[in-house]
Amino acid sequence: MTGPAHDASPSAAAPLEGILVADFSRVLAGPLATMTLADLGARVVKVERPEAGDDTRAWGPPWSPHAATYFEGVNRNKESVALDLKDAADRERARRLAIRADVVIENFLPGTLERVGLGYDDVARQNPGVVYVSITGFGSAGGARLPGYDFVVQALGGLMHITGEADGDPMKVGVALVDVLTGKDAVIGVLAALRRRAQTGAGSRIEVSLLSSLQGALANQAAAHLGAGASPTRMGNMHPSIAPYELLRCADGPLAIACGNDGQFAKLAAAVGVPELAQDERFRTNTQRVANRPALREALEAALAAAPAAEWQERLNGVGVPAGQAGDIAEGLAFAERIGLEPTIEVMGADGASHGRQVRHPVLWQPPFEPPRRAAPALDEHGDDVRAWLDAD
């Protein structure tokens, strides 16, 4: 469905080559979903408000030399067109985009696009194969009018209740994790719907909410409540079911150590010079270690005080015990680079100049394809071309 002048697929091998995405989303969850589809070769046309654009264009600092880094981080490989949905001509262009698209993704308050003729029923009437995705904060029923912001959903959904120190306040995660999870869930829904459409020809109406994505990601913590009536709470860096699985202090600072089974714990005890801990009745099994966590931590930190964290990390990894220093983002990217993961890519502006580096799409493919590397667009950067394409009969 893409116009030949706008074919954004990077190579013949791109998995989503030929897929057109109409992106009516803004902020994080929706734009992350559409950027993921763009990274996989889809053509994504991002519809923005005239003059202001996506909210995150103004979410700085920090700013790169080109834009707010928040916006840049989730909008690469897209075309931007500014359309005023209150204007009849622009509204008709938006309708034409939606009925040409394979995928429509929006995150307006429920009912908003219906009022301007861009709801699912309106689009599917002329585009029955469309995969139409609505991202909401709290669904389209009782929570339809509630504004969905990641921070508030972390609070309401229970994530903050299990994050932070035991004697401290509830704490949010250090990134807008619920938005990220919701964006990824939306992509999963899109790919499954495209697969079904390829088999049956039928389109799909998909809804994903921030609250549902959060609760779906609570994993073992939700299972503890539902399956055993337990009430998970904040434990700092400790794990509710495994020990040791936390930050332990070494001679110069903390080290994350994770022992997922009794064999790993025996290797840990031997490596730090206290093999007898593995035979101590308080620590022989994981269940016993969890029950005696304070004594276990005291014994291990007494041994770890003999050397700095970096030395212990090397020793423990050498014998198969998961361990790592708590570095910052720069150190994490540098570590990924050292072990050959190539975590970043350079993105290029329309003028061919570098717009810096971004974290690459995390999936590696065989056979490989070269994903596009276009920087996030300026507001209405592609507006003239897209409007001319949409106005053409």
The residues assigned a catalytic role are 179
CA distances from 286 to 229, 237, 277, 297, 301 (A): 21, 17, 12, 13, 18
Enter the tokens of residue 262: 């009794």
Q: Is the peptide bond before 372 cis (omega within 30 degrees of 0)?
A: no
Enter the tokens of residue 387: 């409007």
| Closest of 325, 304, 316, 314 to residue 251, by C-alpha | 304
Enter the tokens of residue 217: 């990601």
| Phi-psi map region of 51: left, alpha, beta (phi>0 left; psi -120 to 50 alpha) | left
> CA geometry: angle at 265 spanning 261 and 271, to 5°?
145
Q: What torsion do the CA atoms of 364, 366, 369, 372 make, to the nearest 10 degrees?
A: -20
